[in-house]
Amino acid sequence: MPELPEVETIVRGLRKLVTGKEITEIISHRSGTISEERSETGEYGRITGIRRRGKYLLIDTDIQITIMIHLRMTGKLIFDKTEAGSQHLRAEIRFSDKTLLIFDDVRTFGKIIVMDSGKDVEHLSFLGPEPLETDFNEHYLSEKIKGRKAPVKNILLDQRIVAGLGNIYVVEILHRAGISPEREGGLLTRKEINLIIEKTREVLQEAISCNGTTISDYRSVDDKSGEFQNFLRVYGKEKCKCGAEIKKIKQAGRTSYFCPNCQK
DNA sequence: ATTGCTTCCTGAGCGC
DNA sequence: TGCGCTCAGGAAGCAA
């Protein structure tokens, strides 16, 4: 499940591998994976940069094309010379030097959109601030959360509130903050809001330095696993460090884990 | 405006 | 061995 730290790791890996390469072809191996939203179709150009916004990965080229990729749950980008290593090939980006960027995705939810540069801003305008930037702060979050009846867990998963958090990290952040995922968002105190922001930064930064979390499918571009799964404190666990049983519940269709002793 | 349910999809894991 | 079932979940779309 690539969330912000995993996408960030992939972006950093890709930058080293494909910056400067000329894209000759983008091939779809499954309908619905790629959508072309350019005003004119034609060449793609040479890669000038790779960026991330939330869980979206953006590839920019020198002829003002942006390729926006969302990996959803099982999407992977694999850099190689052949497609042989791909079990679930959905698309590929071919370069003039005969290397490839393979888009492999078991569950086929991932998407690639080819668009004119600048259009990405409109596409992504719904996203909330980046959790590691200063505009994700107490003032912002308390305004957004004010009067909300939904559980804090659901609010933090909402990409319009803050961009890039997914199930695993929200579960870990709330555990570190000592806040139950079932708490009503609008009733959180100032202190708790600050704690959420602080722990969000802490967890994400640790996860990025671990190259992400590999539970099942996630791999970086060079096919390496992340390491942060070794530091998870509640997600997928049965017992908390304090000795109490971890509770497992469903919220908004996703599994929440929390310690009733440490999280109030 | 907000909330919550359903949908998309495949593979792993389980009980029988 | 193999069948059928449940579960995993990000985000869009829709209904209340």
Question: Are A152 and A89 within one domain?
Answer: no
User: CA A54 – C1' C3 distance (Å)?
Assistant: 41
List residues bridging with A245 in a β-sheet: A239
As a rounded value in angstroms, the CA-to-C1' distance for A150 and B2 is 9
Mean pLDDT of chain A: 93
pLDDT at A253: 87
Average pLDDT, stretch A100-108?
A: 94
Whole-angstrom CA distances from A97 to A22, A26, A47, A80 are: 8, 14, 13, 11
- Give the residue-averaged pLDDT of A234-257: 92
Q: How confident is the model at residue A105 (pLDDT cuts 50, 70, 90)?
A: very high
Q: Is residue A49 within 8 Å of residue A67, measured between CB atoms?
A: no
CA of A1: nearest nucleotide by C1' is C9
pLDDT in tens, A39-72: 888 999 999 999 999 999 999 999 999 999 999 9
Domain shared by A65 and A106, yes or no: yes
Backbone φ, ψ for residue A152 (5° rounding): -55, -35
The confidence band for A12, taking pLDDT boundaries of 50, 70 and 90, is very high
| Strand B positions within 7 A of protein Cβ atoms | 2-11
Residue A113 and residue A149 in one domain: no
Between the CA of A254 and the C1' of B10, what is the distance in angstroms? Answer: 18
Could you tell me if residue A263 is inside a domain? Answer: no
Please tell me the predicted confidence (pLDDT) of residue A264: 95
The crossing angle, in degrees rounded to 10, of helices A190-209 and A167-177 is 130
Over pLDDT 90: what percentage of chain A? Answer: 86
pLDDT digits (tens, 9 = 90+) for A38-47: 988 899 999 9
Active site residue A3: yes
Q: pLDDT category, A191, cuts 50, 70, 90?
A: very high
Does any domain span residue A24?
yes
The catalytic residue among A21, A53, A55, A153 is: A55
Residue nearest to nucleotide C10 (CA to C1'): A72
Per-residue pLDDT, A220: 78
Q: Is pLDDT above 90 for A91?
A: yes
**What's the domain range around A253?**
138-258
Instruction: Answer yes or no: A55 catalytic.
Output: yes
Q: Select from A72, A91, A123 the last residue of a domain.
A: A123
Residue A216 in tokens = 């099942």
Question: Is pLDDT above 90 for A219?
Answer: no
- Domain closes at, from A64, A93, A123: A123
pLDDT confidence band for A226 (50 / 70 / 90): confident
| Residue A26 near residue A91, CB atoms below 8 Å | yes
State whether A36 and A147 are in the same domain: no
A100 CA vs C2 C1’ separation (Å): 39
Question: Is residue A158 included in any domain, yes or no?
Answer: yes
Based on the domain organization, do A119 and A171 belong to the same domain? no
Please answer whether residues A109 and A90 qualify as being in contact, where contact means their C-beta atoms are separated by less than 8 angstroms: no
Active site residue A92: no
A183 is annotated as an active-site residue: no
Residue A128 in any domain: the answer is no
> In total, how many domains does chain A have?
2
pTM: 0.95
Map chain A to HEC letters.
CCCHHHHHHHHHHHHHHHCCCEEEEEEECCCCCEEEECCCCCCCEEEEEEEEECCEEEEEECCCEEEEEECCCCEEEEEECCCCCCCCEEEEEEECCCCEEEEEECCCCCEEEEEECCHHHHHCCCCCCCCCCCCCCHHHHHHHHCCCCCEHHHHHHCCCCCCCCCHHHHHHHHHHHCCCCCCEHHHCCHHHHHHHHHHHHHHHHHHHHCCCCCCCCCCCCCCCCCCHHHHCCCCCCCECCCCCECEEEEECCEEEEECCCCCC
Residue with minimal CA–C1' distance to C11 is A72
Residue lying closest to nucleotide B12, CA to C1': A216
